[in-house]
Amino acid sequence: MICASLAEVVSIGAVLPFLGVLTAPERVFDHQLAQPLIQALNLTEPKQLLLPLTTVFAFAALFSGAMRLMLLWGQTRLSHAIGADFSISIYRRTLYQPYAVHVARNSSEVISGISGKANSLVHYVILPVLTILGSTMMLLTILVALVAIEPVVAFSAFAGFGAIYVVVIFASKNRLARDGQRISHEQNQVIKALQEGLGGIRDVLIDGTQSVYCKIYRDADLPLRRAQANVQIIGVSPRFGIEALGMVLIAVLAYSLAGRPAGIASVIPVLGALALGAQRLLPVLQQAYSSWAAMRGGQASLSDALDLLDQPLPEYAEAPLPVPIPFQHDIALDGLAFSYTPKGPRVLKGLELNIPKGGRIGLIGSTGSGKSTLLDIIMGLLHPTEGSLAIDGVVITPQNHRAWQAHIAHVPQTIFLADTTIAENIAFGVSPDQIDLDRVRQAAQQAQIAQTIESWDNQYNTQVGERGVRLSGGQRQRIGIARALYKQADVIVFDEATSALDNDTERAVMQAIESLSNEITILIVAHRLTTLKNCTQIVELGDGVVKRIGTYIDIVGQPS
């Protein structure tokens, strides 16, 4: 910024001797400031000054352009680097939020904040701030140079142009604020419309509701584009009026200076320097104003991005992976109660339950009985509102729950598959260069899917497509089971994980699960009660409490 500002002064100053040697070379030749150059170059007549002064002026102009280009490069790179830091920090802080936070909010707001609003932060805040700083420095140096040439004209022009921009700022600030809020809101709605339309594409195609989702998207996207256009128009529009006024000012100045006794030839260098200064001054003023308009329009997006950036990081975020908490005896639930909100109803009410290590526990109950919530608490995703979850007598708290989660693998009803290979999905979360392929194959065999995978051309390098779209429901489910087995956890939670399997495949998978070590504790919520027939204990939940505990025969009856 400093070098670019000084380069502007040099380029403006260089125009004085250049125009002077074009119009009155004798006067320049006799000037005392020109004597060192004349003596250094051994010049003998005024016309010989033309070439060196032309060279100096051209060099000054090129140097000024180069410095402004470097300033643009530095400002842009720095602002995008800061934007990357913002985006990465928001994403990191979001991933570390408790499960209850993720359940309570819409993911489209988070995605919009990480992708769209972090970018808005660059274009509407960081880059404008840097531009305003650079423009302010340039304005001051250009003004100093112009004041040294013609003080009254310089101050008058700067005051006039500045007053116009001040009036425009006061007239447009409220409109820019409203458009900024519209941009922030509609960015969320656009992401939400995309997620809903593409996420339910199967139903959209079957029901023929494309026009409905197109309308939802249009109703969000069109106001967003209009608000962005308004911000851009308001930011650019004063430039044209100011440029016209600048031309009028130069014309008036030329007329007034032409009346001086020395004649027009004597004032051409001054006039040229002032014209060049005005030509540099007006774009800098416009840059500063446009940057302010962009900042005003991006204020709401900045607020949303900062809210996401303000998410607290847990203490374990900076800590190395914890040593697993000892688990040799049992999982004990003592007076356990839970509600999702402080004033909300209790989903679980004073549960008392003991799960021995190596047990096969089946959970049954009607919808809303609290099965999934109980599993989330046992897995350390949620923390009890009252009572406790203890492992071998050690109470699990927000401070030590990561050490307990190191024991756990989870197989949900809906398996998330990344758009990567089979091997990477089985070893989910492991860097590709650190995947143990032998362990992947063993897990696939235990989940009864190895034979299917190995019949494909690329075997474990087969791409599954987005969300596993290239696989059947049963194949996705078995890969999810293989993922849990790859982790080699000693507590595996199956949350209706076999619901998409046919009877024969489910029977084979359950046999594989039963063949696992007796040291592995298994918790199963199943759609079909027959899936639980080999469980050592069945727990029936109802209205947030344990209604019955017993064997399969006690609870369900004699298996067929």
- In the block, tokens 């709401």 appear at 300
Two tokens at 509?
Answer: 């998978």
Which amino acid is located at 98 in the chain?
Answer: P
Give the Å distances, CA to CA, from 108 to 115, 196, 290, 303, 398: 10, 10, 30, 17, 27
Strands 394-395 and 348-356, by their bridges, are unpaired
Residue 149 in contact with residue 274, Cβ under 8 Å?
yes
Two tokens at 352?
Answer: 């008392």
Residue 153 in contact with residue 253, Cβ under 8 Å?
yes
Q: Which domains does the chain have, with CATH numbers?
A: 2-309 (1.20.1560.10), 330-555 (3.40.50.300)
Q: Tell me the pLDDT of the chain (560 aa) as tens digits.
A: 888 878 877 777 777 777 677 666 777 677 677 777 777 777 777 777 778 778 888 888 888 888 888 888 888 888 878 877 887 787 888 777 777 777 666 666 677 667 666 677 777 777 888 887 877 777 777 777 777 766 776 677 667 677 777 777 777 777 777 877 777 777 777 777 777 776 666 666 666 777 777 888 788 888 888 887 877 777 776 766 666 776 676 677 666 666 666 555 555 666 666 666 666 666 777 777 777 777 777 777 777 777 777 777 777 767 777 778 888 888 888 888 888 777 777 788 888 888 888 888 888 877 777 788 888 888 888 888 888 888 888 888 888 888 888 888 888 777 777 778 888 888 887 777 888 888 888 888 877 778 888 887 888 888 777 666 677 767 777 788 888 888 878 888 888 767 666 777 677 667 767 766 677 888 888 777 777 777 888 888 887 788 888 887 877 765 55
Q: What gap in Å lies between CA 10 and CA 14, rounded to an integer?
A: 6
The beta strands (E) that lie in 260-400 are given as 330-338, 348-356, 360-364, 386-391, 394-395
Two tokens at 442?
Answer: 């063993």
Q: What gap in Å lies between CA 371 and CA 378, rounded to an integer?
A: 11
DSSP secondary structure string for all residues of 238-251: HHHHHHHHHHHHHH
